[in-house]
Amino acid sequence: MPENANQTTPTSNQNTVSSPQAPPPTNTQVRPEQPPKKIPRIKPKFGKNAMLFIGVLALALFSVLLLVGILVAKTGIIELTLLSRLYHGPLPTRQLIVEPISAVDFVGYLDSRLKQSYAISQVPPFHAVITEREISGALYSALPGALRDSKWNVDKAQIVVREDGLEYFSRFSRGAFKLEVLIVMKPILESGSVRFDVQSIQVGDYSLPVPIAQTLAAYYFGRDLGTWTLTFGSLRIDNIVMHDGYLEIFVNQLK
């Protein structure tokens, strides 16, 4: 018997060890990695409408500043270069050359003139003439003491006597600031003295209502304008007559 008769040969029915198989190919394609997209920066667009708005706004602001500058310049309180050319200021009927007169001297002038009138005729009423320059001199001397703030200087003070009333003009200054005032008053007799009833007030180029002006004047003066009185020592004034440039004062009894 042949030597190989007992050997068996492998058949197709025997299990064989197979190597692992690769997964079937798919249709998915691997794309190369792309850098992230940059988001475009949107720049603001200024069209014609925006530029027009900015121009109108700038013009409006300039107009407001110019208006405020003109209003301030016409008060005369402070000089504003070109705008101050628009300022005219209050103009009195006439400018007076004023020499200061003390209250004692002023009353002495009046007393001596009344005595002269008495010497001529002992029959009352006795009268005396007081010129507007003499009244202005007494005012110029007394006005600094009437100011609430002594830092303001009295540069000009005068009273023009008119047939229809008294015209008070003054100019004050304090550093770069100045103030010009024109007041028209009517003298009223009260208990032998003279009170001044304010008819009109002009500050700078502006005519102000009397109540408002009196409130503003309280900032400068220690007393309300409506309470200003003129006294003549112990003399009791019985009548006062205004002429152009002077006053006639009448009394019935001399002390």
Span 72-112, pLDDT tens digits:
778 888 777 777 788 888 999 999 999 999 988 988 888 89
Rounded mean pLDDT of 115-143? Answer: 90
Confidence of residue 20 (pLDDT cuts 50, 70, 90): low
Measured at the alpha carbon of residue 93, what is the angle toward residues 90 and 99, in degrees to the nearest 5?
95
Gyration radius of the chain's alpha carbons = 50
**Helix (H) or strand (E) segment spanning residue 116:** helix 103-120
Asked if pLDDT for residue 46 goes beyond 60, the answer is: no
Residue carrying structure tokens 């309280």: 218
Which of 19-23, 35-39, 182-186, 193-197: highest mean pLDDT? 182-186
Q: d(Cα 84, Cα 77) in Å, to the nearest integer?
A: 10
Mean pLDDT of the chain: 79
Biggest alpha carbon–alpha carbon distance for the chain: 201
What is the residue extent of each domain of the chain?
51-86, 103-251
pLDDT number for residue 232: 67
Name the least confident of 27-31, 40-44, 164-168: 27-31
Residue 178 contacts residue 77 (beta carbons within 8 Å):
yes
- Over residues 13-37, mean pLDDT: 57
Q: Which amino acid is at 180?
A: E
What gap in Å lies between CA 91 and CA 94, rounded to an integer? 8
